[in-house]
A and B are shown apart, each in its own frame.
Chain A
């Protein structure tokens, strides 16, 4: 497997027990791959299953059928079948996920949130500390905020903390869910640079990016997900 991440005939549905067992088929026959050093962008209208695909790759959503193969060093792990502990190991070593929302323990400071993510990703204490500072500075988060818990931050500030947290450890696969949705142009450009650097360093990147300029900036190959959602329309 020369790819870093591969979806093979992946299907995903939701059974809504609270709505009389309605079944929503959100993904069917999803097949694609992302190579190291490649950036791919999931493309399709809202509700087409982009987010579900990304979350399945991270093990956050279950997968009904098919395989989601992740290269983890010398071995390949099927996230669709992996035990929870193996998924956690993948998250620690191999996959970063930057979501739209920041979910952290309320009292922890922004800098500590980012540093902790670095240590969990295998950085030494010193490296984590230095990189956290670098990242927050590059993302233009005012230094006076670093020591404060992000719960009180604006949406854009929270998102920058989230990006720093997702990018601090140099994991070979990067999953991005609208990382720049609440950022201004200047900070979007910073994020685009950071992503480009990771890509140049050989990371495989899979993302959802609605903003056309941002897509352009990170040079993403388009994966059209409407092809995987046909059964639902039918």
Chain B
């Protein structure tokens, strides 16, 4: 089966430093791919290129659209790319302030993509927003509150609702659980796992937390200095790491 999203030879340099160096990666429906590595390993640069937000110096990202055509992001015009980004794709950011409109109510945040698609019925938009707030376990009576009044965990859940309301096929997540309390993290992990399974989403999640990768992902790619040093089944890579760096990474984790 053709992957939903595939990257070949993705390379991006900042000056003399290669943030990404010939990365090959793919993900398909119903599959969660974790990209792990230390800060500066190129994970976030890779994610930006997968999202079409950053043009690679070399290599290509290909996406299989709803009509089954496999297309290179570099060949899709900006109008269509932005349309894809707010319908077919989701992007859950580490910093909720980057992924939400902090001055707009929770309902408006969830409804924005629907209005972007041309929905013009307030009642319907609000009903869908309520449904999604419920699915991410945000109480209905918070629908008119802005995210500035939400806790960190709620903000991340609101981001998820905002992204999933248009039934995207691919969701990119950049450290969605970092900075949250452990108990809040667990709740978010459960939510992400449940929704990605129920909706058959393709998910690429960037994390430095191997426990998050283990609980959420089917496959894993370990990055170091811009390169994928090891990839495979998540439990296989974490339990039987072959690469020297992966072994170091796995052995550096504090066991709980």
Q: Which residues of A contact B (CB under 8 A)?
A: 14-18, 55, 59-62, 84-85, 87-88, 103-108
B189 at the interface (CB under 8 A from A): yes
- Name the interface residues of B165-199: CB closer than 8 Å to any CB of A: 182-183, 186-187, 189-190, 193
The 9 closest A-B pairs by CB, nearest first: A17-B244, A106-B186, A107-B186, A61-B240, A84-B233, A105-B190, A17-B247, A107-B190, A84-B219
Count of B residues near A, CB < 8 Å?
Answer: 25
| Chain B residues with CB below 8 A from A62, complex form | 232, 236, 240, 242
Distance to closest chain B CB from A118 (angstroms): 13
> Knowing A62-B240, A88-B233, A105-B215 touch, does A16 contact B189 (C-beta < 8 A)?
no
Measured in the bound complex, the distance between the Cα atoms of B248 and A17 in whole Å is 8
Is there contact, CB below 8 Å, between B232 and A60? no
Q: Which residue of A lies closest to B250 (CB)?
A: A18
Most chain B beta carbons < 10 A, residue from A17, A59, A87, A88: A17
A90 to chain B, nearest CB (A): 11
Q: Does B101 contact A (CB under 8 A)?
A: no
12 A–B contacts from the bound complex (CB under 8 Å): A16-B247, A17-B243, A18-B247, A18-B248, A60-B239, A62-B236, A84-B218, A84-B232, A85-B31, A87-B233, A103-B215, A106-B183
Give chain A nearest CB distance to B160 CB in angstroms. Answer: 16
Q: Which of B183, B189, B232, B236 has the most CB of A within 10 A?
A: B236
CB within 8 Å for A88 and B218 given contacts A16-B247, A60-B236? yes
Contact check: which of B183, B189, B242, B251 meets A18 at CB < 8 Å?
B251
Give B4 Cβ to nearest chain A Cβ, in Å: 13
Q: With A and B bound together, what is the CA distance between A61 and B235 in angstroms?
A: 8
Residues in chain B near residue A104, CB distance under 8 A: 215
Whether B214 is near chain A, meaning CB under 8 Å from some CB there, is yes
Interfacial residues, chain B to chain A (CB-CB below 8 A): 28, 31, 182-183, 186-187, 189-190, 193, 214-215, 218-219, 232-233, 235-236, 239-240, 242-244, 247-248, 251
Chain A residue at smallest Cβ distance from B246: A17
Q: How far is the CA of A119 from the CA of B251 in the complex (A)?
A: 33
Residues from chain A with Cβ under 8 Å of B232 in the complex: 62, 84
Most chain B CB within 10 A, of A59, A84, A104, is at: A84
Task: A14-B240, A84-B219 given; name 16 further pairs at CB < 8 Å.
Answer: A17-B248, A18-B247, A18-B251, A59-B236, A60-B235, A60-B240, A61-B239, A62-B236, A84-B218, A84-B232, A88-B233, A103-B214, A105-B189, A106-B182, A107-B183, A108-B190
Shortest beta-carbon distance from A191 to chain B in Å: 24
- Cβ of B189 to closest chain A Cβ, rounded Å: 5
Considering residues B219, B240, B242, B248, which has the most beta carbons from chain A within 10 angstroms of its beta carbon? B240
A43 to chain B, nearest CB (A): 23
Please, which residues of chain B bring their CB within 8 A of the CB of A15? 242
* Min distance, Cβ B193 to any Cβ of chain A, angstroms: 6
Complex Cα distance A55/B223, Å?
25
B193's partner among A18, A60, A88, A105 (CB-CB below 8 A) is A105
Residue of B nearest to A107 (CB): B186
Q: For B248, list chain A residues within 8 Å (CB).
A: 17-18
User: Bound complex: CA of A84 vs CA of B214, how far in Å?
Assistant: 15
Query: How far apart sit A17 and B243, CA to CA, in the bound complex (Å)?
Result: 8
Min CB gap A161→B, angstroms: 16
Whose C-beta in chain A lies nearest to the C-beta of B241?
A17
List of A residues within 8 angstroms of B31 by Cβ: 85
A18–B215 Cα gap in the complex (Å)? 26
* Distance between Cα atoms of A61 and B240 in the complex (Å): 6
